Structure 1
Amino acid sequence: MTRLRGTLVAAAVPLFLISACAANDPAGAADSRPLESASAPAADDLVVRVESFGGFVPAEQNVGRIPAVSIYGDGRLITQGPTTMIYPGKALPNIQEQMLTPEFVQDLVRRGTEAGVRNGADFGSPNIADAPSTRVTVGDQSVSVVALSQAQPNDPRLSAAQRTARTKLAAYVDKLQSLSAAEGVAKPIAYQPSMLASLAHKYVAPQAAEPVMKTWPGAALPGDMLNANIGIGCVESTGAEKDAVLAAAKDATVVTPWKSGGALWSVTFRPLLPEEQGCAALKGVK
């Protein structure tokens, strides 16, 4: 992976520079020279993330949910790309990768701190049932906010301070989610994972489609149970086996039945992100 030139020095957020000089231009694509600072984060260190969890969605979607935005120590920006609004949807998710300069990354870290991303910050709980939560991580600081975008501005369960905090954080999240189209950011390319997780549960035929069965080309499904209570297993694949699974899934949909071990399975494909090491990384996902 190409590394970026720049200096990220430990400060208020460990490992990441929060510069007092706000004059850095956050627009700019990557160059190819290596990082020079010994205190710079490692390439796969997570710097900034936005992700959702919970809410009224099927369990397998929560387990396999991909963070909306992930930014790493070497400037990689990994996001979910656009999807076609058709049924049934494609089996493989559209994950994109771009590169940011160190100056751009440090600016985002500073803005995250200003937006209130700090452990223990109070954003309140609005009067909304079954709403997802938004988790925002900046360095070693993280907040989880229920119904960040769904709560009404005048919700009686939120104090004035909580409403203000939510407004600031929502604006920061909006900025992060628009990064892939920001001026000066290189065009996205398809993310190429080094490892693929395949989440399997017993197949239930859909009423509105007649999908074609496929033979599973990887390790036997369902694999190790991520959660025995909801019956979702997980198998990992790398190298040639990963390539075979991806090739087989290229023309599959979310309702394709996969045959493995004499049974039919539904599979959710979850390309693992740089810091995720196997199916174990998904066991704690809410």
Structure 2
Amino acid sequence: MTRLRNTLIAAATPLALLCACAQPDGAGAAPGQSASQASAPTSGEGANYLVARTESYGGFVPPDRTVGSLPAVSVYADGRVITEGPVPMIYPGPALPNVQVTQITPEQVQELTRQGAAAGVRNGTDFGRPNVADAPTTRVTVRTEQGTQSVAVEALSESQANDPMLTQPQRDARKKLSDFVKTLTGLPGEGKSQKYEPEEMAVLARPYTDPGGTDPKSPEIAWAGPALPGQYLNAAFKIGCVTVAGAELDKVLTAAEKANAMTPWTSGGAKYLITFRPLLPDESGCSTFTVTKGNR
């Protein structure tokens, strides 16, 4: 299977200094490193630096529905914009998500970082806590000259403008951030979007339960990848994770094309429901879902 390899490294050149100095969550040099050593990008990875992202998590949704969810928008240093595209309104839905990639210009990427800083995406900004229960949290990340800045805001879209729990400065901060999120989710790409072809796929498996009812059941498919369920991400819900890449990924994708979201997959004498989660350019391995936000 041919991989989509967007190698527009030249487009990332204007961002070299911006991306090189950024560390996760504004972290500085590691012990024994100089600032220049800590900021130097790994050779060949400049295009994969995450520049901006918006995503949601939490709220009144069970973990088995949210573990492995895709960020709404991810923007990279070479101008790639990766989002989840539309899916057919059928039940059960397809097994594989529709992940799309479009392209913006280097100038647009730089403008996003400027807008993000102006919108208050920086450590310590006070967005308050509105009087809204069970609403999701919106996390916005922007890579700036000061490092990676990230804010997590409860009920960004659900809170009322006159919420008595919020001060006027907090309301103003929320409005600026909300406008920036709308900018991210409405980015115009250059040319037609293309299917995102990941180099690595996470496979999130949980025990299969017969849904009952009279609807026809999806036929079982024998799992051809690593033994399931793999490493548990959420032991309470028995959600496990394995990853596949290379020829093994090709084999798994071929089988998944014939499956749907309710297909029972058999492995080691047990049945599993599987969520396929393409790993994005800045992600690697099952630790993607355990190192941030307690099982994103």
Q: Distance in 2 between matches of 1:14 and 1:160?
A: 34
Pick aligned residue for 1:220 from 227, 239, 253: 227
Number of equivalences: 262
| CA RMSD, 1 decimal | 2.2
Q: Distance in 2 between matches of 1:39 and 1:258?
A: 40
Distance apart, 1:256 and its partner CA: 1.1
Note if contact 2:229-2:242 (Cα within 8 Å) is conserved in structure 1: yes
Q: Distance in 2 between matches of 1:253 and 1:55?
A: 26
Note if contact 2:19-2:46 (Cα within 8 Å) is conserved in structure 1: no
| Structure 1, unaligned runs of 5 or more | 17-37
Q: 1:46-66 CA distances to partner (integer Å, 9 max, x unpaired)?
A: 110011111122212322111
Q: Distance in 2 between matches of 1:193 and 1:177?
A: 21
Q: Please state if 1:283 is matched with 2:290.
A: yes
TM-score by length of 1: 0.85
**Moved >6 Å (runs of 4+):** 38-41
Of Structure 1 and Structure 2, the greater helix share is in: 2
Residue 197 of structure 2 corresponds to 192
Residue 149 of structure 1 corresponds to 157
Note if contact 1:60-1:268 (Cα within 8 Å) is conserved in structure 2: no
Residue 118 of structure 2 corresponds to 114
Residue 129 of structure 1 corresponds to 133
Q: 1:120-149 CA distances to partner (integer Å, 9 max, x unpaired)?
A: 211111111111100000010010011111
Q: Distance in 2 between matches of 1:143 and 1:98?
A: 25
Q: Distance in 2 between matches of 1:269 and 1:132?
A: 22
Name the % identity: 52
Residue 164 of structure 1 corresponds to 172
| Structure 2, unaligned runs of 5 or more | 1-5, 24-39
Residue 239 of structure 1 corresponds to 246
Note if contact 1:49-1:136 (Cα within 8 Å) is conserved in structure 2: yes
Note if contact 1:8-1:39 (Cα within 8 Å) is conserved in structure 2: no
Residue 7 of structure 2 corresponds to 2
Residue 178 of structure 1 corresponds to 186
Note if contact 1:52-1:67 (Cα within 8 Å) is conserved in structure 2: yes
Note if contact 1:196-1:271 (Cα within 8 Å) is conserved in structure 2: yes
Q: 1:13 to 1:172 in 2, by over 3 A?
A: farther
Q: 1:260 to 1:150 in 2, by over 3 A?
A: same
Distance apart, 1:233 and its partner CA: 0.6
Q: Please state if 1:267 is matched with 2:274.
A: yes
Residue 67 of structure 1 corresponds to 71
Q: Distance in 2 between matches of 1:238 and 1:94?
A: 18
Distance apart, 1:172 and its partner CA: 0.8
